[in-house]
Amino acid sequence: MLYKLIILYILSRVDFPLSNAQLTAFILEKEYTNYFNIQRAISELLDDEYITVKTIRNSSLYKLTDTGKETLLFFDNLISSGIKEDIEEYLKQNKYRLKEEVSFLADYTQIKKGDFSVRLSVIERDTRLIDLSLSVPTEEDAILICNKWKEKSSDIYAYLMSALLN
């Protein structure tokens, strides 16, 4: 139960989703438990609808639900002040990096043979600043575009705004 509460507490302290890797890294770094217990806790939190998941390419992004918030309020006192301080310190030191890692979304799907749809987004505070869909002829092109999105998104956004507003 403690591992579930730690996950709920971490998610309650950020205003953006966290990936499985981000949640796991913190808990393993602090040696609160092992990888398998974390994955079981996440799975049970999903089953109980305390968190939601959105999968983009190879990344699962988790958010706290209203039910999860209520549960955390009820059982918050079971998390020690030391663990809460560890979480707060970790988030203070890493919040910008964590948010940046999940703010640039890029995914693709095959529509039909020889036709792939690439969806690119930049999200800030639950608002999509840009949401762009492209059709490309090959999976290799789709992968290349997805891989370059984070690096190129601000230039593309600036170009589009300039071109459309001038």
Please give the pLDDT value at position 94: 85
Q: Which residue has the higher pLDDT, 124 or 109?
A: 109
* CA-wise closest residue to 122 among 102, 139, 148: 102
Q: What is the C-alpha to C-alpha distance for residues 53 and 20, in angstroms, rounded to an integer? A: 9
Same domain, 98 and 158: no
Q: What is the mean pLDDT of the chain?
A: 87
Specify the number of domains making up the chain. Answer: 2
pLDDT tens readout for residues 4-63: 999 999 999 988 888 888 888 889 988 888 999 999 999 999 999 999 998 776 678 899
Provide the residue range defining the domain that includes 117: 104-165
Mean pLDDT of 63-88: 92
Distance of CA 140 to the CA centre of its chain: 24
Same domain, 30 and 78: yes
Same domain, 18 and 70: yes
162, 126, 63, 91 alpha-carbon torsion, rounded to 10°: 80
Token pair for 73? 């309020």
- 74, 102, 130 — which closes off a domain? 102
CATH number, domain of 36, equals: 1.10.10.10
Same domain, 79 and 117: no
